[in-house]
Structure 1
Amino acid sequence: MSTLEKSVEKGFEGRKIREYLKEEMKLSSRFIRGAAMDKRILVNNTPVRMNYVLKENDNISISLKKKESQNIEPEKIDIDIVYEDSEIIVVNKRPNMVVHPTKRYQSGTLANALLYYFKETNQDCIVRLVSRLDMDTSGLIIIAKNQYAHMELSNNMQQNEIDKRYLALVHGHMEEMEGTIDKPIYRPELEGNMKRVVDERGQRSITHYKVIERLKDADLVECLLETGRTHQIRVHLSSLGHPIYGDTLYGDESDSEIIPRQALHAYGLNFKSPRTKKPLELRAELPNDIKELLEKLRG
């Protein structure tokens, strides 16, 4: 989709277009300001100012095409595309891959790979991440192809309207087969500290869980996030005495000999398409390293 279109109903006659775009079309001030400056907001095929007074049956159209660039080098790296349309692309990120370039990781990231893919498929897009994952966590990530889709999905994320499901392989057996962990997560203010802790000074954090498979001395646990704090699942499961296999930050350092990263996979996303509002249910099967560890624990 390259444009948003709307016909003005009688009840909005006499209102300024800026108010209409905010209240009826739910567009952000930032989006409106940028589109207006680029003269991409048209009424009856003519660019208008934001104090334009609407009339019944006015046709509003907003072009979503915008020339943009990012200071990221495109790189030919294979990506596992689970879903794609004109608005979004959802990929299954492999483990040990950084999502976006940092000072330490300038190349080899998912963003480098996506920019190459967009270039090769003649899509004039930049990488707008709706969701993120730790370097060592595998699974589904949503990327918006334009500012409107990013705005819609980011708002849905804040309103807890995107269902994010994970699978974690944990040490020991959960006391209950299913339940809710409602514990605040806090980051101690120590230089260079990445580790979070359960602490009353932190933000309220909620994880719903269910044991999917019980193994000899481990559980395969499905986790549904209600909030999205950094390291939330890892902190919550560790706080119950059931750290994730391979999680040397919140568990046992010797775990790295069993699996070289935390056995955590973002396997499911349920959300609505930003344009059509059609429900999407996307799934990504467990990667090979977690499958292999599961087989060992079953054996």
Structure 2
Amino acid sequence: MSALEKKVDNRYEGSTIREFLKEELGLSSRLIRGAAIENRILVNKNSVRMRYILHEGDEVLVKLQRKESQNIIPENIDINIVYEDEDILVVNKQPNVVVHPTKRHQTGTLANGVLYYFQETKQNCIVRLVSRLDMDTSGLIIIAKNQFAHMALSKEMQDNNLEKRYLAIVHGHLKEKEGTIDAPIYRQEGVDSIQRIVDNRGQRSITHYKVVESFNGGDLVECFLETGRTHQIRVHLNHLGHPIYGDSLYGYGEEEKELIGRQALHAYGLDFKSPRTKETLSLRAELPEDMKNLIERIK
């Protein structure tokens, strides 16, 4: 059973259970309300109301598992698990895989495979995506196993405390081997396209970059996102005049099918704190084969 457990110390003598859950465990009002309605909040093994007054030494337990269902078809699809604990699952998504079912892709998505994995391993979880990637972008994605982990990590993302690192293979050689792109990204109104542009009407967008290695045909560039706009890395690198190989929207994708069948962009690194222990997790995923092959061809 997935649960949060904590003994009350003298700081919370005389406090309500609600105050303890918010201040000590960092739970949201929404989570507390739902858990209280479903009698999942216990003190000394007994369900309590939210006005319950605590005493030093009380044992507080919040059950995180609950009956939930999801309109996703479980499918036996290979998923590459990089890290797993009782709160989160981190997988290395392969290129050309949709993350979550859509009208056009009801099956064959990462979520279909993850739900099958949860059922096969007898974990009572639904698929709660903390992060997402474009279909053609490979790399690390976080899935929360419960509401507590999802809310905690979503807040970390909003506060820019969850670090995401990418590797991209670009055309040409960047003049500055290390720097910051601080350029607003905007989606033009009335344009029936998902394409973004750099425009002063857009939201502030910041990408830090560093050239890792240079080849005859281009650079391998590490990108660290300070903001998380749609297509941010692709737009910013193209803005510098160095589009990503295989990028059909911002580069020369159709002309490069023989080199690589998608944009050469890989979410290789995640650094964040565990929702439960607050210890820093530093997770990495090596370059996929198609990007390794591209490097060999442009050397």
TM-score tier by shorter-chain length is over 0.9
For 1:262-273, list aligned pairs within 5 A: 262-273=263-274
Q: Residue 271 of structure 1: SS of its match in structure 2?
A: strand
Aligned-partner Cα distance in 2 for 1:167–1:191: 30
Partner deviation per Cα, 1:64-113 (whole Å, 9 max, x = no partner): 11111100000111111111122211111000000000111110000000
Q: 1:80: which partner in 2?
A: 80
Aligned-partner Cα distance in 2 for 1:203–1:191: 18
Q: 2:297: which partner in 1?
A: 296
Q: Does 1:101 align with 2:110?
A: no
For 1:93-172, list aligned pairs within 5 A: 93-172=93-172
Q: 1:29: which partner in 2?
A: 29
CA contact (8 A) 1:268 1:282 kept: yes
Aligned-partner Cα distance in 1 for 2:116–2:212: 38
Q: 1:250: which partner in 2?
A: 250
CA contact (8 A) 1:248 1:256 kept: no
Q: 2:283: which partner in 1?
A: 282
Aligned-partner Cα distance in 2 for 1:192–1:41: 49
Q: 1:201: which partner in 2?
A: 201
Q: Residue 241 of structure 1: SS of its match in structure 2?
A: coil
> Offset at 1:282?
1.4
> Offset at 1:257?
4.2
> Offset at 1:14?
2.8
Aligned-partner Cα distance in 1 for 2:14–2:283: 43
AA of the residue aligned to 1:61: L
Q: Does 1:221 align with 2:244?
A: no
Partner deviation per Cα, 1:178-205 (whole Å, 9 max, x = no partner): 0111111112223532011112222211
Q: Residue 26 of structure 1: SS of its match in structure 2?
A: coil
Aligned-partner Cα distance in 2 for 1:237–1:224: 12
For 1:1-80, list aligned pairs within 5 A: 2-80=2-80
**Greater mean deviation of Cα atoms: 77-86 or 13-22:** 13-22
CA contact (8 A) 2:259 2:297 kept: no
> Offset at 1:19?
2.4
CA contact (8 A) 2:75 2:116 kept: yes
**Greater mean deviation of Cα atoms: 12-21 or 27-36:** 12-21
CA contact (8 A) 2:17 2:52 kept: yes
Aligned-partner Cα distance in 2 for 1:260–1:190: 30
Q: 1:211: which partner in 2?
A: 211
Structure 1-normalised TM-score? Answer: 0.95
Aligned-partner Cα distance in 2 for 1:72–1:211: 40
Aligned-partner Cα distance in 1 for 2:191–2:172: 33
Partner deviation per Cα, 1:126-162 (whole Å, 9 max, x = no partner): 1111111000000111111111111111111222222
For structure 1, the 5+ residue unaligned runs are none
Q: 1:237: which partner in 2?
A: 237
**Greater mean deviation of Cα atoms: 265-274 or 241-250:** 265-274
Note the aligned Cα RMSD (angstroms): 1.4
For structure 2, the 5+ residue unaligned runs are none
Partner deviation per Cα, 1:250-277 (whole Å, 9 max, x = no partner): 1124233432110000111122222122
Aligned-partner Cα distance in 1 for 2:176–2:270: 25
Structure 2-normalised TM-score? Answer: 0.95
Runs of 4+ in structure 1 off by over 4 angstroms are none
**Greater mean deviation of Cα atoms: 159-168 or 88-97:** 159-168
User: How much identity, in percent, do the aligned residues show?
Assistant: 69
**Greater mean deviation of Cα atoms: 287-296 or 7-16:** 7-16
